[in-house]
Structure 1
């Protein structure tokens, strides 16, 4: 077990896998949307890297089914459930707190600007924003809260929540598992030995839409 050395460990998905495994992964996924302070947690990269270690994670927590596919599917399903519960908690929080959050002062764990960005995203994309937001860091933390604040229909939110959670979890976890298998079999490259580069690439890819939106938004304001 690795010991916590610095705040950088909190951004490293392997830290959670090594120190908490299956149950900590589920909590992190829940916290990223269920607790608005979880916006800094490594959602996308955690799922991808978890996919690489899926068989080991299931074997150490329960017992391997003997099938890589089933072990990976079990992990992805459990993560989906954690993500769904997280979003429902976020929705309920937004429903009950309402405008109070907009009056809350910024702190280390709460940035009002993220709430406004999530609101703009929701206004632009409508109900489908709940599904799309799953693939966008920070935005996915605040979208369920915004959905609750604007009193989005509970049944519609739940359906979109389930669809988004399963798409996000299965795509990233299975991508991690089978891309690792592909690289090992075809190129002799074990992605486990290159996790830092992989995490960096995932962070860049997932944050690129937000960066583009930020700068294009500024140009629109100037014009």
Structure 2
């Protein structure tokens, strides 16, 4: 998707910031936004600011994207707090996956309040974690503090990384390739989680088979 978005961002010029804000907000604030390329988008916007395609001050772009990211998580939290478990009991569809929601629940249970920050860097999980925090009735003030910290580290951090790398000629002339590379890097945590889950499930299955054998012998 980022390969499609990059030429569009080029063509929009400064207005590309508005598109980026909508995407960042939707990915973190709407349950249907899990497929959006937040990491690579922020990195790409940073490069486009550095190369003058988006002719706006870096501080302004950073403030706007930070605001969109923080607002998105806050909306997700309010959805979880308002509608509770009904959010996770809805029917499976193309735009909603229970498995994604369950991954976020597991992630939140494992990391607690820190999950609000850490989830920002895990695709799909970052979409559902604010909702899980709302369902779990995490104190609003606590959530807001972690939300703001996470938005700063994620949105501003990736934007600034793209901005400084945008000054490197090879990066500036191959924006799409580096954006796709960011997608690949951002998928590593998710892939690692899947592998760990499969290994854990296999170990549990092996343990069950071992525990059953003595019973079979006694029979």
TM-score category (smaller protein):
0.7 to 0.9
- Structure 1 length as normaliser, TM-score? 0.84
> Higher relative contact order by CA 8 Å / sep ≥ 6: 1 or 2?
2
1:208 to 177, 180, 188: 188
3-state DSSP of counterpart to 2:101: helix
CA radius of gyration, larger in:
2
1:100 to 76, 86, 98: 86
Superposed, 1:144-183 pairs within 5 Å as 144-181=130-167, 183=168
Taking the aligned partners of 2:3 and 2:98, their CA distance within structure 1 comes to 21
Return closer, same or farther for 1:97/1:166 CA change in 2, 3 Å cut-off: same
- Structure 2 length as normaliser, TM-score? 0.85
1:45 to 31, 40, 44: 40
1:157 Cα deviation from its structure 2 partner: 0.3
1:35 to 11, 30, 37: 30
Taking the aligned partners of 2:185 and 2:105, their CA distance within structure 1 comes to 22
Which 4+ runs in 1 deviate beyond 2 A? Answer: 10-13, 55-59
1:89 Cα deviation from its structure 2 partner: 0.5
2:19 to 24, 34, 38: 24
In the alignment, what sits opposite 1:142?
A: 128
Taking the aligned partners of 1:46 and 1:201, their CA distance within structure 2 comes to 11
Question: What value does the CA root-mean-square deviation take over the aligned residues?
Answer: 1.7
1:75 Cα deviation from its structure 2 partner: 0.7
Post-superposition CA distance 1:1-48 (Å, at most 9, x none): xxxxxxx4x764415523451111111111111111011111000000
Return closer, same or farther for 1:82/1:216 CA change in 2, 3 Å cut-off: same
Taking the aligned partners of 1:88 and 1:165, their CA distance within structure 2 comes to 11
Contact 2:29 2:75 survives alignment (8 Å): yes
In the alignment, what sits opposite 2:215?
A: none
Structure 2: runs of 5 or more not aligned? 204-219
Contact 2:80 2:131 survives alignment (8 Å): yes
Contact 1:118 1:146 survives alignment (8 Å): yes
Taking the aligned partners of 1:100 and 1:44, their CA distance within structure 2 comes to 29
Return closer, same or farther for 1:16/1:95 CA change in 2, 3 Å cut-off: farther
1:177 Cα deviation from its structure 2 partner: 1.1
Structure 1: runs of 5 or more not aligned? 1-7, 65-70
